[in-house]
């Protein structure tokens, strides 16, 4: 695990003991810190106690003198009482990414890449990590993806830490200075946690304000809010755009099709160029990259029909590029499964690509609202649930067609999370013999 002398002799409170919370407890205790930990689940408290933590609810104890209250990114600081309780005691509320930043001084010399954005950040993170690994550079991927960062073994000298960073994780960081910080794009999301879109955008922009003057910012300027953030960066800045990618080049990268993946690729290329990779290493990484689960993942092919799982598309802005990736050839070939728990942004971002859709299959709470919004622009089925949608799409699809689950919705009306929804889709497709 990653430990640091910076934590020794200090006391921390840890609120929430899922994977990252327990990893935090273990790393702090191993570093010589005192830890008071809490979770509503008794088994989680038992696990923390076994690691050497005291048990106590940070909301009920005196926090004066604590070095920090470590919370999971899922704790809504805008309405959770821990924020006010910590503020009264003059104790910072932080996350495990902040602890990693404070521990960096004890790690072998390395580079740190931080990647944020509304959409694409997981793919860019995984793509950068893959490109570096395929070039023989020691790499560790973490943050909002993979295993908790503090649970990992430190990299040797010359390694690169590649962190996917949500706005929540940035909110909980105070000394995170990335050698390279990336913004993929920006559109309304998580507005229940912020004072409107401006608050959300400011959270993303903080990643750049935490950098030092000699560090590098990379911003994809394909949307106006990202352009505005780029305009305020006053240190080393690389502006990139998905339009910079030659379609002839992109055709050689099987897992990176569509305009959204052009943007993902251009961000990753810029990072790797700054880190010193040559053209041959970059091309090899792009050509051999495999899609992340639930992100334009090819999950089956039968009778000339290909099935793609894009369950990670939980809003219209992230579903739109998936629709754009499959233009008529020469006729419409795309069967689109959409719906779930709507986020309130409707389908406006998808509307320019309705002409690509042969038939839509609508599910979940959003079914009637999406049907009204689509109107007669696209033939549609009110499928209701995912199993019915897959069955109907299988009956209608012909050789050369594409069936795409890209819901433009959260999953919580019918599934635990987007991953469970994507796994269910994959199983349904495989049951077809695809």
Which are the catalytic amino acids? Answer: 121, 144, 190
Per-residue tokens: 340? 């779930």
Q: Which residues contact 33 (CB under 8 A, 6 or more apart)?
A: 7, 8, 9, 10, 11, 12, 67
Between β-strands 402-405 and 334-339, what pairing exists: parallel, antiparallel or unpaired? Answer: parallel
**H-only helix segments in 69-161:** 82-88, 96-103, 121-134
**C-alpha triplet 427, 430, 434: angle, nearest 5°:** 155
**H-only helix segments in 210-251:** 224-232, 247-250
CB 432 within 8 A of CB 302: yes
Any bridge partners for residue 238, and if so which? 218
Q: Which residues contact 391 (CB under 8 A, 6 or more apart)?
A: none
Q: CA nearest 233: which of 209, 202, 212? A: 209
**H-only helix segments in 96-192:** 96-103, 121-134, 167-171
């Amino acid at each position: 695990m990653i430990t640091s002398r910076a934590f020794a002799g200090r006391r921390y409170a840890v609120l929430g003991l899922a994977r990252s919370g327990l990893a935090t407890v273990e790393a702090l205790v191993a570093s010589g810190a005192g830890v008071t930990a809490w979770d509503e689940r008794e088994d989680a408290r038992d696990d923390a106690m076994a690691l050497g933590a005291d048990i106590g609810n940070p909301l009920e104890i005196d926090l004066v003198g604590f070095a920090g209250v470590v919370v999971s990114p899922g704790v809504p600081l805008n309405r959770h009482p821990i924020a006010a309780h910590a503020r009264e005691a003059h104790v910072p509320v932080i996350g495990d990414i902040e602890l990693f930043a404070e521990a960096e001084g004890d790690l072998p010399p390395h580079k740190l890449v931080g990647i944020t954005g509304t959409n694409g950040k997981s793919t860019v993170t995984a793509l950068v990590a893959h490109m570096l690994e395929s070039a023989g550079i020691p790499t560790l991927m973490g943050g909002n993806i993979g295993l908790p960062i503090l649970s990992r073994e430190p990299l040797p000298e010359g390694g690169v830490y590649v962190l996917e960073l949500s706005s929540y994780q940035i909110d909980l960081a105070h000394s995170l200075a990335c050698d390279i910080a990336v913004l993929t794009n920006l559109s309304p999301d998580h507005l229940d946690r912020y004072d409107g879109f401006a608050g959300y955008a400011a959270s993303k922009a903080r990643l750049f304000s935490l950098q030092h003057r000699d560090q590098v910012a990379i911003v994809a300027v394909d949307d106006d809010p990202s352009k505005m953030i780029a305009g305020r960066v006053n240190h080393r800045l690389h502006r990139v755009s998905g339009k910079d990618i030659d379609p002839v080049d992109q055709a050689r990268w099987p897992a990176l099709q569509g305009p959204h993946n052009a943007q993902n690729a251009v961000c990753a290329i810029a990072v790797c160029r700054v880190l010193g990779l040559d053209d041959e290493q970059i091309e090899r990484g792009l050509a051999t990259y495999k899609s992340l689960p639930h992100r334009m993942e090819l999950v089956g092919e039968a009778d000339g029909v290909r099935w793609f799982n894009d369950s990670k598309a939980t809003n219209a802005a992230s579903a739109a590029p998936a629709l754009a990736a499959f233009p008529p050839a020469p006729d419409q070939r795309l069967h689109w499964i959409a719906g779930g728990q709507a986020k309130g942004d409707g389908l406006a971002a998808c509307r320019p690509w309705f002409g690509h859709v042969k038939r839509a299959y609508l599910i979940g709470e959003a079914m009637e609202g999406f049907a009204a919004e689509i109107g007669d622009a696209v033939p549609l089925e009110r499928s209701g649930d995912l199993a019915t949608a897959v069955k109907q799409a299988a009956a209608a699809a012909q050789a050369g067609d594409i069936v795409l689950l890209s819901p433009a919705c959260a999953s919580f009306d019918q599934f635990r999370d987007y991953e469970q929804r994507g796994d269910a889709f994959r199983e349904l497709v495989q049951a077809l013999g695809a």
